[in-house]
């Protein structure tokens, strides 16, 4: 029921008014929905009348005019009142009709229209380009020189832009992409096993548990084949078969062999490819390379990203650098857990500073815990080492199925070789017969945790499972013996031949394991346990890879777009290179085409000065704080909170505690952190302090994001949302991207949602059984 009435807006008791005193007239809108409490909304008409001219019986008259004719302006006043009432009513009806906006209008994904498979081609045909002569007038900053940053810097320079590239390592070749082992996916279908662009797209969306953007993933699958062609042309020595053609292997979560590899060093070889392309451009003067430089802030001029503030890690000098656009290829934030497979220097600072300047941060809680890492050995541990997923091609994962056996192993009374075949529980093969040991990473990790939590874990800590190659050695040994025409039943021979095959395939990984654990994995099964490895979340970007700050782009692991809630093996290298070689160099032109006559961006402006001052102030704060504890003290504490309460399984109680504990720890950090030395020298502790300060903010947002996502999907598993068998339960109401807007403290961050639509793929339960 709706009713419009008029009233006088008394400011004091009615009796105190004199007859000649003027009072404002207002419109009252009375609204009552079926069962709800009535609502009255008032709006001033801006019209006044004397008390003696007010008609208290206006509602009884047909014309409903409240101002009596004794007022000399009664006609115009009444018509003004009437008009106000009409407009007001119109407005209120409008509001009631519009449903509350579920998805944020601020997140424009800019996905092109049309059929999925033509989107990228159509988009490239339609976007603006910068002509070659004008590219010379445009500067671009690229932060980070891993696969994404390195390939982007090289390609942008080839196109003719002036590129300034930055890395904190002593050479771009040392970016942490180098540590990727297993391989890179591409829908080449060289093995003729039914692979296609669509299948790679399908596997990636499904693997990501339907939380990635459909059109971005299709584009990724589409350009994947170009990457392999490109890398071979650059001299990347991929593995080949005896016929001289490229070899492939299979990775978790897929049913085809589409992974190209260079032994266990694929990341290194691809990065050296991108680095060589950079070298060519550095030699030509098109890339100016800044090694050992850390980005401290991004500078916005008129709302656009126009430069960065950096610190020279050798001299300590804080510097200003300007450009027409800034590209962040600064990697992921796995080190928020302190212990991870990331490099010691990997950090979130560049991304977080961008976030603080207005770039939304998407899905921070989507983190990948990799199932096959070398278990933690003690408190001294500074990092965890990954064993490539490719090992799961031939290794079988098991724990004892008798608890007493597990205890005896932990106490060192028996070895795994003492456990009879029937007393072994190959739990992945048991739970997921279709995919077996090659289930996706999130599934494999949780299954291992489940067994260890149930008391079947091995290693002194009880936090490890076996990865056993004995069966593969026998299988390969028999095969080789057969080829050589030798005795397949000769155990010693078969063992020798099989070991040789395994050595050829995984030799460097086995050597790495032996050096760290001091056990021979050819003889005793490897021990593995899950560890933080990759972050699917990151800075929110649109289809053009632009963040919510105009002119600021994010590529590779630093952005969020392609892997949803879980990344498939060998897809990180693919995405990094796709973004850098084949996507960003095109899409950035669309933005830069407006900048052809801008001219160089000056760095002597207030914006640069303020950002620089802020950065220097923070550095000086750390030096002068003289607290009690080293940076690592806080980082380790943060890592423990993250691992225990935001790790492989999360629940609302833990997450709420984590939010509080991280916030407290952050306060303690700012009061008690101790950084030795000065700001104008090589000072690793100072660099670490700045990075950990940012992790302490990100960690809280991470927990807040995990708490707000009431479902289990991919790497995000909430105890509250699981089947009785312990499988993840996804919630279709959460088919969106959570993008957080910075508002000071992480607890005040505002959630924006981007709706995810799947038109070319059916959203199904993700089953690997």
Partner 1 sequence: MKLKLKIWRQKNSTSKGSIVNYDVDNISPNMSFLEMLDQLNSTLIKNDESPVAFDHDCREGICGSCSLYINGQAHGPDRAITTCQLHMRKFKDGDTIFIEPFRATSFPVIKDLIVDRSAFDRIQHAGGYISVNTSGNTQDANSIPINKTDADNAFDAATCIGCGACVATCKNSSAMLFVGAKISQYALLPQGKVEASDRVTKMIDQMDLEGFGNCSNTGACEVECPKGISLDNIARMNRELMKSKVL
- List the interface residues with partner 1, window 282-321 (CB under 8 A): 282-283, 289, 291, 314
Binding flags for partner 1, 579-618, as an x/- string (CB under 8 A) = --xx------------------------------------
Q: Interface with partner 1 includes 38 (CB under 8 A)?
A: no
Q: State yes or no: residue 192 binds partner 1 (CB under 8 A).
A: no
Closer Cβ to partner 1, 42 or 240, answer by number: 240
Q: How many CA atoms within 13 Å lie on the side-chain side of 430?
A: 12
The three-class DSSP label of residue 22 is strand
Binding of partner 1 by 344 (CB under 8 A): yes
**Does 193 sit near partner 1 (CB under 8 A)?**
no
CA distance 364 to 373: 22
- State yes or no: residue 677 binds partner 1 (CB under 8 A): yes
Tally Cβ neighbours within 10 Å of residue 212. 29
How many whole angstroms separate alpha carbon 734 and alpha carbon 86?
40
Which of 170, 755 has the CB closer to partner 1? 170
Judged by CB under 8 A, does residue 158 bind partner 1? yes
510-529 residues near partner 1, rule: CB under 8 A: 511-512, 515-516, 518
Only one of the segments 1-9, 58-66, 149-157, 470-478 lies at the binding site for partner 1 (rule: CB under 8 A); that segment is 149-157
| Minimum distance, C-beta of residue 119 to partner 1, in the bound complex (Å) | 17
Q: Which of residues 248-267 bind partner 1 (CB under 8 A)?
A: 262-263, 265, 267
- Contact between residue 695 and residue 353 where contact means Cβ atoms under 8 Å apart: no
Q: Which is nearer to partner 1, 312 or 651 (CB)?
A: 312
Q: Where are the alpha helices (DSSP H) in 673-730?
A: 684-708
Residue among 45, 155, 215, 330 that touches partner 1 (CB under 8 A): 155
CB 512 within 8 A of CB 388: no
How, if at all, do strands 325-328 and 538-539 pair? unpaired
Measure the CA–CA gap between 522 and 499, rounded to whole angstroms. Answer: 7
**Among 90-98, 125-133, 351-359, 675-683, which window interacts with partner 1 (CB under 8 A)?**
675-683
C-beta of 237: minimal distance to partner 1 in Å? 4
The alpha-carbon radius of gyration of the chain (Å, integer) is 31
Phi/psi of residue 217, each to 5°?
-65, -40
Binding partner 1 by CB under 8 A: which of 119, 164, 176, 635? Answer: 176
Instruction: Say how far apart CA 262 and CA 244 lie, in whole Å.
Output: 14
Q: Smallest distance, Å, CB 685 to partner 1?
A: 6
CA distances from 203 to 20, 217, 446, 759 (A): 80, 10, 20, 15
Contacts to partner 1 from residues 205-244, by CB under 8 A = 223, 226, 228-235, 237-244
Q: How far apart are alpha carbons 677 and 683 in whole angstroms? A: 7
Taking CB under 8 A as the rule, does residue 279 contact partner 1?
yes
Confirm or reject binding of residue 391 to partner 1 (CB under 8 A): no
Site for partner 1 in 616-635 (CB under 8 A): 630, 632
* 153 is an interface residue for partner 1 by CB under 8 A: no
**Smallest distance from partner 1 to CB 675, Å:** 9
Q: Which residues neighbour 158 within 8 Å (Cβ) at sequence distance 6 or greater?
A: 277, 281, 286
DSSP letters, 362-417, are E-TT-EEEEEEEPPP--TT-----B--GGGGGT-EEEEESSHHHHHHHHTTSS-GG
461 touches partner 1 (CB under 8 A): no
Counting contacts by CB under 8 A, is residue 685 touching partner 1?
A: yes
Q: Is 676 in the site for partner 1 (CB under 8 A)?
A: yes
Q: What does the block give as tokens for 679?
A: 């700001």
Type and span of the H or E element at 466? strand 465-468
């Amino acid at each position: 029921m709706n009713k419009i009435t008029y009233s006088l807006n008394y400011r004091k008791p009615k009796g105190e008014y004199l007859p000649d005193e003027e009072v404002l007239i207002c419109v009252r809108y009375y609204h009552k929905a079926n069962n709800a409490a009535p609502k009255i909304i008032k709006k001033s008409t801006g019209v006044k009348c004397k008390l003696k001219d007010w008609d208290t019986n206006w509602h009884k008259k047909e014309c409903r005019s409240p101002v009596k004719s004794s007022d000399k302006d009664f006609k115009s006043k009444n018509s003004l009142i009437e008009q106000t009432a009409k407009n007001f009513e119109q407005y209120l009806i409008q509001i009631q009709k519009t449903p509350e906006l579920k998805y944020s209008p601020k997140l424009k994904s800019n996905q092109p229209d049309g059929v999925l498979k033509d989107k990228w081609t159509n988009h490239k045909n339609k976007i603006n380009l910068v002509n070659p002569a004008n590219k010379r007038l445009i500067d671009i900053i690229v932060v980070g020189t891993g696969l994404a940053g390195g390939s982007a810097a090289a390609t942008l320079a080839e196109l003719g832009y002036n590129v300034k590239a930055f890395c904190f390592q002593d050479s771009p070749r040392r970016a942490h992409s180098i540590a990727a082992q297993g391989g890179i996916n591409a829908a080449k279908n060289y093995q003729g096993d039914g692979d296609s662009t669509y299948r790679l797209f399908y596997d990636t969306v499904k693997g990501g548990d339907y939380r990635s953007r459909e059109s971005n993933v299709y584009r990724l699958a589409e350009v994947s084949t170009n990457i392999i062609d490109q890398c071979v042309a650059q001299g990347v020595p991929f593995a080949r078969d005896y016929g001289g053609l490229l070899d492939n292997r299979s990775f978790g979560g897929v049913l085809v062999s589409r992974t190209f590899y260079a032994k266990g060093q694929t990341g290194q070889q691809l990065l050296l490819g991108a680095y060589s392309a950079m070298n060519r451009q550095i030699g030509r003067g098109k890339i100016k390379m800044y090694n050992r430089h850390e980005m401290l802030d991004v500078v916005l001029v008129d709302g656009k990203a126009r430069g960065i503030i950096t610190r020279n890690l050798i001299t300590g000098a804080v510097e200003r650098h300007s450009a027409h656009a800034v590209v962040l290829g600064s990697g992921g934030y796995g080190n928020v857990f302190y212990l991870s497979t990331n490099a010691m220097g990997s950090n979130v600072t560049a991304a977080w500073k961008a976030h603080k300047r207005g770039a939304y941060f998407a899905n921070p809680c989507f983190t990948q815990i990799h199932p096959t890492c070398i278990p933690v050995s003690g408190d001294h541990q500074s990092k965890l080492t990954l064993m490539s997923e490719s090992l799961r091609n031939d290794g079988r994962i098991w724990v004892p199925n008798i608890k007493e056996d597990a205890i005896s192993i932990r106490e060192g009374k028996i070895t795994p070789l003492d456990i009879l075949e029937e007393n072994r529980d190959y739990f992945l093969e048991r739970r997921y017969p279709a995919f077996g040991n090659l289930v996706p990473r999130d599934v494999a990790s949780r299954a291992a945790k489940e067994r260890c939590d149930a008391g079947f874990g091995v290693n002194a800590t009880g936090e490890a499972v076996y990865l056993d190659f004995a069966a593969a050695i026998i299988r390969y040994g028999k095969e080789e013996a057969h080829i050589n025409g030798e005795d397949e039943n000769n155990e010693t021979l078969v063992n020798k031949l099989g070991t040789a095959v395994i050595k050829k395939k995984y030799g460097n990984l086995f050597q790495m394991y032996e050096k760290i654990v001091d056990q021979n994995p050819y003889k005793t099964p490897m021990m593995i346990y899950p560890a933080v490895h990759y972050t699917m979340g990151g800075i929110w970007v649109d289809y053009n890879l632009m963040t919510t700050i105009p002119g600021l782009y994010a590529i590779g692991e630093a952005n969020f777009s392609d892997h949803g809630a879980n990344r498939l093996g060998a897809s990180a290298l693919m995405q990094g290179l796709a973004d850098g070689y084949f996507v960003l160099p095109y899409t950035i032109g669309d933005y830069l085409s407006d900048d052809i006559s801008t001219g160089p961006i000056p760095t002597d402006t207030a914006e640069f000065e303020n950002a620089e001052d802020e950065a220097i102030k923070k550095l000086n704060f750390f030096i002068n704080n003289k607290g009690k504890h080293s940076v690592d003290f806080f980082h380790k504490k943060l890592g423990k909170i993250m691992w225990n309460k935001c790790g492989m399984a999360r629940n609302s109680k833990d997450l709420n505690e984590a939010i509080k504990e991280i916030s407290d720890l952050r306060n303690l950090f700012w009061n008690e952190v101790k950084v030795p030395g000065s700001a104008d020298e090589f000072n690793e502790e100072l660099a670490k302090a700045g990075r950990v300060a940012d992790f302490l903010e990100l960690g809280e947002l991470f927990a807040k994001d995990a708490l707000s996502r009431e479902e289990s999907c991919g790497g995000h598993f909430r105890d509250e949302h699981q089947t009785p068998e312990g499988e993840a339960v996804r919630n279709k109401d959460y088919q969106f991207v959570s993008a957080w807007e910075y508002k000071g403290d992480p607890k005040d961050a505002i959630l924006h949602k981007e709706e995810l639509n799947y038109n070319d793929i059916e959203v199904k339960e993700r089953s690997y059984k």
